[in-house]
């Protein structure tokens, strides 16, 4: 029974998100059998993780980098608006479909439901490298600023593979140690709508 809780929590988070966001992997169905639970997920035919995509591409152009940044922000804004904190946002939990280069956020196994209240830091079980500093520094954290920090960490990796070095100021603000100094998700969307920041 203890092993079922994380799977059921993941199902609950994915059901909460629905299927309206094209940048989030869709849960089509789920079922229980004698050995556990089966999740029937959307499966993009040709895809690789964002980590593998960036490694395999010697460089990517700025429009592609910006497309990735916007699509990932779209997925995160959808999660945020539905009260879901992904909890493990990093390069290997993002798929890149080929040849269209559309992003899909995957793996909601560490996701947490939230409202306007802070989340407990002890509930974070995601990748330590992409862990916002306030989770290590404080007993609680807010989903919005934590999401922005994770996006900044991923954006930094995307821009390392980019031919140009744009968006440095935006990325630096996202990675501010103080959550209050980071842009909101809405401000970040506004910045990415502009051609450069």
Position 46 confidence tier, pLDDT thresholds 50, 70, 90: very high
Torsion of CA 79, 83, 84, 85, to 10 degrees: 100
In the chain, DSSP assigns E strands to: 27-33, 36-41, 47-49, 84-85, 94-97, 103-105, 112-113, 119-120, 140-141
Structure tokens at 135: 């989770």
- Give the chain's length: 197
Structure tokens at 40: 């029937």
Q: How many structural domains compose the chain?
A: 1
- Give pLDDT tens digits for 137-152: 999 999 999 999 999 9
Q: Domain for residue 174, yes or no?
A: yes
Report the chain's mean pLDDT, rounded to a whole number: 92
Q: Domain for residue 104, yes or no?
A: yes
Q: Domain for residue 94, yes or no?
A: yes
Q: Distance between CA atoms of 56 and 161, rounded to whole angstroms?
A: 10
Q: What pTM was computed for the model?
A: 0.92
- Looking at the predicted structure, is the pLDDT value of residue 53 above 50? yes
CATH at residue 167: 1.10.510.10
Q: Note the pLDDT of residue 1.
A: 47
- Give pLDDT tens digits for 65-91: 999 999 999 999 999 999 999 999 999
- Give pLDDT tens digits for 101-110: 999 999 999 9
Q: Note the pLDDT of residue 59.
A: 84
What angle do helix axes 185-193 and 62-81 make, rounded to 10 degrees? 150
Reported as half-sphere exposure (CB side, CA atoms, 13 A), residue 58 has a value of 0
Position 197 confidence tier, pLDDT thresholds 50, 70, 90: very low
Q: Distance between CA atoms of 140 and 147, rounded to whole angstroms?
A: 14
Torsion of CA 93, 79, 6, 94, to 10 degrees: -10
Q: Domain for residue 33, yes or no?
A: no
Higher pLDDT, 32 or 50: 50
- Looking at the predicted structure, is the pLDDT value of residue 164 above 80? no
Phi and psi at residue 15, to the nearest 5°: -65, -40
Q: Domain for residue 22, yes or no?
A: no
Higher pLDDT, 6 or 88: 88
Q: Note the pLDDT of residue 94.
A: 98
Position 26 confidence tier, pLDDT thresholds 50, 70, 90: very high
Q: Domain for residue 32, yes or no?
A: no
- Looking at the predicted structure, is the pLDDT value of residue 172 above 60? yes
Position 2 confidence tier, pLDDT thresholds 50, 70, 90: very low
Q: Classify residue 23 as exposed, middle or buried by CB count within 10 Å of its CB (0-12, 13-18, 19+).
A: buried
Q: Domain for residue 179, yes or no?
A: yes
């Amino acid at each position: 029974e203890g092993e079922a809780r994380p799977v059921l929590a993941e199902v609950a988070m994915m059901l909460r998100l629905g299927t309206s966001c094209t940048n989030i992997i869709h849960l089509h169905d789920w079922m229980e059998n004698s050995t556990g639970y089966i999740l029937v997920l959307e499966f993009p035919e040709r895809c690789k993780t964002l980590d593998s995509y960036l490694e395999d591409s010697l460089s990517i152009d700025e429009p592609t980098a910006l497309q990735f940044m916007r699509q990932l922000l779209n997925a995160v804004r959808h999660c945020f608006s539905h009260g879901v904190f992904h909890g493990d946002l990093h390069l290997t939990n993002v798929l890149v479909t080929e040849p269209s280069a559309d992003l899909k956020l995957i793996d909601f196994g560490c996701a947490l439901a939230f409202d306007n209240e802070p989340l407990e830091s002890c509930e974070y079980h995601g990748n330590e490298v992409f862990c916002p500093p306030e989770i290590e520094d404080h007993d609680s954290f807010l989903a919005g600023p934590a999401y922005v920090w994770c996006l900044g960490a991923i954006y930094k990796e995307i821009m390392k593979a980019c031919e140009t070095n744009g968006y440095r100021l935006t990325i630096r603000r996202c990675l501010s140690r103080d959550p209050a100094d980071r842009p909101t998700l809405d401000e970040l969307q506004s910045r990415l709508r502009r051609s450069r920041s």
